[in-house]
Amino acid sequence: MKLIKNLILLTFLLLFASNLTAQNDTKANYILFKNVKIFDGTSESLISGMSVLIENNLIQKIAADVSIPEGTTVIDGKGMTLMPGLIEGHGHLQMNGHSISDIENSRNWEELAVRSTVNAKNALLSGFTTWRDAGGMGAGLKKTVDAGLVLGPRIYPSGGFIGPTGSHADFRNFNTPNETLNGIHSSGGKLGMTITADGVDQIKAAARQNFMQGASQIKIMSSGGVVSQFDPWQLDAYGPEEIRAAVEVADAYGTYVMSHAYSKKSIMRCLENGVKTIEHCFMFDGDVAKLMKKKGAYMTTNMQAFSPALSQVSAISASKASARKANSAQEAFKGYIENVKKHRPKLGFQGDCVGMPDACNKQNDHQIYLGAHYFGNHYYLKALTSVNGEIVKLSGEVMDPYPDGKLGVVEEGAYADLLLVDGNPLEDISVIGGNEKWFDAPVRDGIETMKIIMKDGKIYKNTLDK
């Protein structure tokens, strides 16, 4: 017996020593960018004369003279611009049909899932290294990307949309069985893409369900929309106590609520009751700006809403009701651009594309152009980087799936999510894809001027020498 105990102890000691040796032998991976100009995500001009040293997945040092560790991979940036990876503040990787009706009636779970991996790869190779998914999926794609099985950005999932019966979150059609009033019988409901929740108790249950499924924040539909069939955009879908119910659950998890809100009444109601990011926020004005500042809140807006070509979006043109609502909305939201110019809120980029890469690339490239055109390159570059970096970090210490560094900035200690682009995006937004054209833009495969795309210290594209 004593001999057996000694053998077990010896085996344990040998395994411990072997593991300790392996840990000590593990060498850090270093990459140095030299001869680059830096857009750090906040500054109004490029920073010259600096090198950036990356250790594993974090930026370790930014300085004019950096001590280079042995074995460092040195990249000569040839005077190009090193900048943060882009951040999508409101996207839908799994909403990849032509419209909600198409998703509801013509796509099953495996098709939506496989198509989402195509969208994820396209997002990363378009320079989006982080993605806040604003509803329509749980954490399955995120886990698969994080495991290295498919290419894609970091993903902050919101779980299923939460909204009341007949709202922007209700995917049913008139032929959906209605044994209950609840929209669980819709295809979207069965797949967990959307949750119909009426009243405080159902909202709390829905929010908790989303967190159980891996959401890092909660998305509610507190007003109507354009591409849904039952609700006018003017609808104020959730009352104060219902909004507070979602916020109460999010607070318990240490994170926050984002809310789809078009009308001023809905926007103000959300802000007054604890919502931290207003999605779309088309009736933004001075009153909203004042309350946003007081509450420390943010907004994200899909700028294609202000394009004359909006009516050509398939999710809108496929429905006469949606087209009519879009025309009404554009007329009502005319003050948005001037109010943003005047009050300069904390605005994050929002793509909000429903579809597949070719269509979404054209839409998002056009939105990048529109945001820079209306508000200036610097303001909109911040929306694409540092402001959205702040927004995703609202998920808090516990629910943040990527807690070790900042996102959207080139700073020491931040994640090494970086782009090397040929040109100065503060002067020419096209170097990160901005395009004045929308539907008549050519189909693209990546962005030629993005020479290097790095996420988490790993290079996913390198055409620097081509």
Per-residue pLDDT tens over the stretch 308-359: 888 777 667 667 777 777 778 888 899 999 999 999 999 999 999 999 999 9
| Residue 391 forms part of a structural domain | yes
Per-residue pLDDT tens over the stretch 418-430: 999 999 999 999 9
**Considering only CA atoms, which of 238, 154, 47, 211 is closest in space to residue 408?**
154
SS (HEC) of the chain: CHHHHHHHHHHHHHHHHHHHHHHHHCCCCEEEEEEEEECCCCCCCCEEEEEEEEECCEEEEEECCCCCCCCCEEEECCCCEEEECEEEEEECCCCCCCCHHHHHHHCCHHHHHHHHHHHHHHHHHCCEEEEEECCCECCHHHHHHHCCCCCCCEEECCECEEECCCCCCCCCCCCCCCCCCCHHHCHHHHCCCEEECCHHHHHHHHHHHHHHCCCCCEEEECECCCCCCCCCCCCECCCHHHHHHHHHHHHHCCCCEEEEECCHHHHHHHHHCCCCEEEECCCCCHHHHHHHHHHCCEEEECHHHHCCCHHHCHHHHCCHHHHHHHHHHHHHCCCHHHHHHHHCCCEEECCCCCCCHHHHHHHHHHHHHHHHHHHCHHHHHHHHCHHHHHHHHHHHHHHCCCCCCCCCCCCCCCECCEEEECCCCCCCHHHHCCCCCCCCCCCCCCCCCEEEEEECCEEEEECCCC
**Residue 231 or 376, more confident:** 376
Instruction: Please report the pLDDT score of residue 22 as a whole number.
Output: 45
| Residue 117 forms part of a structural domain | yes
Per-residue pLDDT tens over the stretch 154-210: 999 999 999 998 777 777 766 665 555 555 568 788 888 899 999 999 999 999 999
| Residue 364 forms part of a structural domain | yes
Instruction: Please report the pLDDT score of residue 466 as a whole number.
Output: 80
Q: What is the arithmetic mean of pLDDT over 234-256? A: 96
- Is the pLDDT at 23 greater than 50? The verdict is no
Question: Cα–Cα distances in Å, from 26 out to 29, 56, 288, 413?
Answer: 9, 11, 52, 21
- Is the pLDDT at 11 greater than 70? The verdict is no
Q: What is the arithmetic mean of pLDDT over 349-370? A: 96
Instruction: Please report the pLDDT score of residue 312 as a whole number.
Output: 77
Per-residue pLDDT tens over the stretch 121-159: 999 999 999 999 999 999 999 999 999 999 999 999 999
| Residue 341 forms part of a structural domain | yes
Q: What is the arithmetic mean of pLDDT over 437-464? A: 97
| Residue 239 forms part of a structural domain | yes
- Is the pLDDT at 268 greater than 70? The verdict is yes
Q: Considering its fold, how many domains does the chain have in total?
A: 1
Per-residue pLDDT tens over the stretch 393-412: 999 999 999 999 999 999 99
Stated pTM of the model: 0.92
| Residue 466 forms part of a structural domain | no
Tokens of 427: 């002067």
**Residue 84 or 329, more confident:** 84
Under 8 Å between Cβ of 75 and 36: no
Tokens of 356: 């597949």
Q: What is the arithmetic mean of pLDDT over 21-50? A: 88
Domain membership of residue 258 as a residue range: 86-409
| Residue 274 forms part of a structural domain | yes
Q: What is the arithmetic mean of pLDDT over 261-288? A: 97
- Is the pLDDT at 17 greater than 60? The verdict is no
Instruction: Please report the pLDDT score of residue 36 as a whole number.
Output: 98
| Residue 128 forms part of a structural domain | yes
Q: What is the arithmetic mean of pLDDT over 281-310? A: 95
Instruction: Please report the pLDDT score of residue 182 as a whole number.
Output: 53
Choice among 71-80, 205-214, 220-229, 403-412 with the minimum mean pLDDT: 220-229
- Is the pLDDT at 21 greater than 50? The verdict is no
Share of the chain above pLDDT 70, in %: 90
Q: How far apart are CA 273 and CA 437, in angstroms?
A: 40
Q: How far apart are CA 259 and CA 143, in angstroms?
A: 25
Instruction: Please report, for the domain that includes residue 309, its CATH number.
Output: 3.20.20.140
Instruction: Please report the pLDDT score of residue 262 as a whole number.
Output: 94
